[in-house]
Amino acid sequence: MPTNALPEFPEAAQLAAIDIGSNSFRLEIGQLIRGRYKRIDYLKETVRLGGGLDADGRLNEEAQLRGLACLARFALRLRGFAPAQVRAVATQTLREARNRDAFLARARTVLGHPIEVISGREEARLIFAGVARLQPSERPRIVIDIGGRSTEMILGQGRTPRQAESFQVGSVSLSMRYFPDGRFTADAFRAAQVAAGAELEEALQPFAPGQWIEALGSSGTVGAVSQLLAANGISDGVITPVGLRWCIETCLAAGHQDALDLPGLKPERRAVLGGGLSILYTLALQFGIDALQPARGALRQGVLFDLAERLEAAQAPTRQTHRQDMRDTSVHELQRRFGSDLAQAARVQRLAGALYRSTTTPRNGHTEAARELAWAAALHEVGMSVSHHDHHRHSAYLLAHVDAPGFSQSQQRRVAELVLGHRGSLRKLDTTLEQEATLWPVLSLRLAALLCHARNDVPERVVALRRTDDGALLRIDRAWADGHPRTMHLLGEEVRAWERAGRLKLAVRTGG
């Protein structure tokens, strides 16, 4: 894997994590000094992005504008931060939104940083990372995070998650469906609890009480209910079935969210309290949770810690460290899982990287592209576990859909597109190849896979790729070319493939 992908930063450099949630947007800025975390700043705004999804699964303009306005304010706070110091992730609402790409393009312009849409399991992994780091324990534990449109459940011990799942039920979505006009009725609470239970039922066995000793709740809903119970003297902040029944009975007595005027209840929480309580009460009864402790740590801290590990792993040659980028770990695990030819993957990876470096100048955007190229080269043959025929298509499908901790959904798709394009017709990548950021990695990977097709090492000194005014020139040592006529034949076919695609003029020359 490339080791120089990120610039050098001092250990105490400030890092920023942005959590673009379905209910709230959060910005966390902090430092890690000798393994200890120090918060520098924390900003939170209730945006209700999830409330803007219409019946067709499209995010309406009003919700988009609320989100963009919030991100613009975050951007002001992030002035002076280098790109590698910031990581922004989006969760369930943008996993669902059919028009998410259009919103993400606008959001990137406003924020000044890319936004990664992460899978539900990746969200769960990062939640556990935040909790495990800020509230360490060696006891087996269950961690629950109720968001606006999804609920994450994680089993783990120490810093290791053993089981992580995401379920499509949250405080916003459930409140919109069962308490749409803000009225609290017994029938609405019962219906909401049945709906939540149906969604969570498949988790009953893997998350059964025998699997854990302590239960922790992370983030907004749990924090809000904990504060409500403590402020009203019902408990010291621990969430129990008795406390949840008091909350529900208090809502029923009020009759409407606008009539709730309780110590510890923030006004912006009233609209999503019904759904949140329904999920919590269902979890308590179905999973035997007698006491749910509010946790220190959440998704945003997990994102920040993960970013710190990426930086540390990238700087391994200049610092003694045992950290590894989780994405590298996932790539190695996928190679093992699908029985990759590791020697072939390594030779294609080395050559593709060398060819790509000769066509580009090191900049932050290009270094991340180089890492994606390296991952694609390492995984370009995983589809052979399905079928040798059209294995590049099988590889691409697997990589686009497999759970790969550390990767965002968008980054997985980019790696999958590179793998899809490493052989065969280029027409399937017509739109993708319009982007120079993809064009040169695709060319480098195709040439590397072709040159190494006989599964023999190709010394870097015998090939050289450079840009020309109208495309690219591949120079090959004449003696090596004379000894590999079949490879030269395939290179001729490759030249014609790029001619048909019309995206780039590839020339191949031999020399002494």
User: What average pLDDT does range 463-471 have in this prediction?
Assistant: 92
- CA angle in degrees (0–180, nearest 5) for 91-95-100: 110
Q: Where are the alpha helices (DSSP H) in 383-451?
A: 391-401, 409-420, 436-451
Instruction: Establish how many alpha carbons lie within 13 A of residue 409's alpha carbon, considering only the half-sphere containing its beta carbon.
Output: 18
pLDDT at 360: 84
End-to-end CA distance of the chain: 32
pLDDT band at 388 (very low <50, low <70, confident <90, very high): confident
3-state class (DSSP) for residue 48: coil
CA distances from 375 to 4, 7, 502 (A): 15, 19, 27
Question: Residue 511: which H helix or E strand, with range?
Answer: strand 505-511
Question: E strands of 191-241, at which residues?
Answer: 214-218
Q: Where are the alpha helices (DSSP H) in 24-170?
A: 61-77, 92-96, 100-111, 120-134
Per-residue HEC secondary structure of 236-253 comes to CCCECHHHHHHHHHHHHH
pLDDT digits (tens, 9 = 90+) for 215-240: 999 988 999 999 999 999 999 999 99
Nearest-CA neighbor of 452 among 486, 426, 475?
486
Question: E strands of 168-305, at which residues?
Answer: 214-218, 293-294
Residue where the block lists tokens 């790029």: 498
pLDDT band at 315 (very low <50, low <70, confident <90, very high): confident
**Cβ count within 10 A of residue 357:** 16
Whether the per-residue pLDDT at 5 is higher than 60: the answer is: no
Question: Which one is predicted more confidently, 315 or 3?
Answer: 315
Is 267 in contact with 139 (CB distance < 8 Å)?
A: no
| Structure tokens given for 452 | 């190494």
pLDDT digits (tens, 9 = 90+) for 139-182: 999 999 999 999 999 999 999 999 999 999 999 999 999 999 99
For the entire predicted model, the pTM comes to 0.86
Q: Where are the alpha helices (DSSP H) in 91-185?
A: 92-96, 100-111, 120-134, 171-178
Whether the per-residue pLDDT at 4 is higher than 50: the answer is: no
Name the amino acid, one letter, at 210. G
pLDDT band at 346 (very low <50, low <70, confident <90, very high): very high
Question: Residue 279: which H helix or E strand, with range?
Answer: helix 270-286
Q: What order do you get walking across the sheet with 471-477 strand by strand?
A: 463-468, 471-477, 505-511
Nearest-CA neighbor of 380 among 456, 442, 325, 323?
442
Nearest-CA neighbor of 74 among 39, 105, 117, 115?
115
3-state class (DSSP) for residue 506: strand
